[in-house]
Amino acid sequence: MGSERQAMGTGAPERPQGLIRFFDRLVRRALGDLRLPTDGLADYLASLLARFARADQLYAIRDARGRRIDSVVGLRLEAERAWDFAAPDFDPFRERRIRQQIGDYTLFMTGVFREHVERQAATALYVREGREAYRVVADFERSALHREARLFAALAQEFERYAGALSYMKRVYLRPAGTPAPLWPLLRLLADW
Tell me what pLDDT residue 181 has.
56
pTM above 0.85, yes or no: no
pLDDT class of 175 with cuts at 50, 70, 90:
confident
pLDDT class of 82 with cuts at 50, 70, 90:
confident
Could you give the angle at the alpha carbon of 67 between the alpha carbons of 65 and 68, nearest 5°? 145
pLDDT, mean over the chain: 84
